[in-house]
Amino acid sequence: MVTRDQFQQELEELDRNIIELARDAGEALKAAMDALYSQDSDLAKRIIEDDSKIDRKELDINNKAILLIAKQQPVATDLRRVIIVLRIVTDIERMADNAKNIARSAIHLGENMSTLPQGLRKMQEMTIEMLEAAILAFQKEDIVSAGKLAEMDDQVDKLYKKVVSELLGETATNPDKIQFVMQVAYCGRYVERFADHITNIGESILYLVKGENFNLN
C-alpha cells in the first residue's frame, strides 16, 4: 500500500494529466474548425489520426486511477476525487470525438463549400472560453465558476439555434445546397455537444467539492 504522501502525489499527477488532456481536446477543436474554414483536408486527416493519441491518454489516466484505488483503498473524500477523474476524462474523450467529427465533415465537404456562417466560428471561440474556465475551476475547486459554466453553455446553445436558422434560410433560397447545409449543421451540433461535455465537467467539480449531484444542463 502506498503512503499518504505518495497517494497525494499520484492524485496531483492525475490532475495534471486531466488538464493536459482537456487542452489537447481544445486544440483539436480549434484545429478542426481551422480545417473546416480553410478547406484543409490534410489538416483534417491529421486531427482524425491524432485522436488515437487522445484515446491512449484517456486509457492511461483510467488505468492510473483504478490502480490508485486498488493500492490505496482511499477514504470517502479521496475516493470521490478519483471517481471524478474517471468521470471528467470520459467527458474529455467525448469532446475530442466531436472535434474529430468536425474534421470528418471538413473532409466530406472538401473544396465544394459556400460561405460558412460566422456564428459557427463564434460558437467555437465561446466553447474554448468555457473550457479554459472549466480548467481553472477544476484547479481551484471553484464551485462558483463551475456553476457559471451553465450560463456560458446557454449562450452557445442560443448561437447554435441562430446558426441552424441561418442555414435553413440558405436551403430555402438555394435548395441545391442541402448537403452543404446538413454538414455544416452537423458541425454546429458537434460544437454544441463539446460545450455540453464541458458543462458536465462543471457538474463533476460541484460533486467533488460538495459531495452532491448537480444538473447544469
- 10-residue mean pLDDT profile of the chain (217 residues): values are 76 94 98 95 96 95 90 78 93 98 93 82 98 96 94 97 90 81 94 98 93 72
Integer Cα distance of 210 and 66 in angstroms: 23
Q: Is residue 215 part of a domain?
A: no
Q: What is the pLDDT of residue 211?
A: 79
Residue 135 and residue 178 in contact, taking contact as beta carbons nearer than 8 Å: no
User: Is 216 part of a structural domain of the chain?
Assistant: no
Task: Find where cell 482511499 sits.
Answer: 74
Instruction: Decide if 111 is inside a domain.
Output: yes
Q: What is the pLDDT of residue 163?
A: 95
Residue 27 forms part of a structural domain = yes
Three-state DSSP state, 116: coil
The reported pTM is 0.93
The verdict on residue 86 lying in a domain is: yes
Does residue 65 sit within a domain? yes
Domain assignment present for residue 130? The answer is yes
Number of domains in the chain: 1
Q: Is residue 105 part of a domain?
A: yes
Give the single-character DSSP code of 182.
Answer: H
Check residue 22 and give its pLDDT: 97
Which residues are CB-neighbours of 132 under 8 A, at least 6 positions away? 26
Domain that holds residue 41: 4-210
CATH of the domain at 137: 1.20.58.220
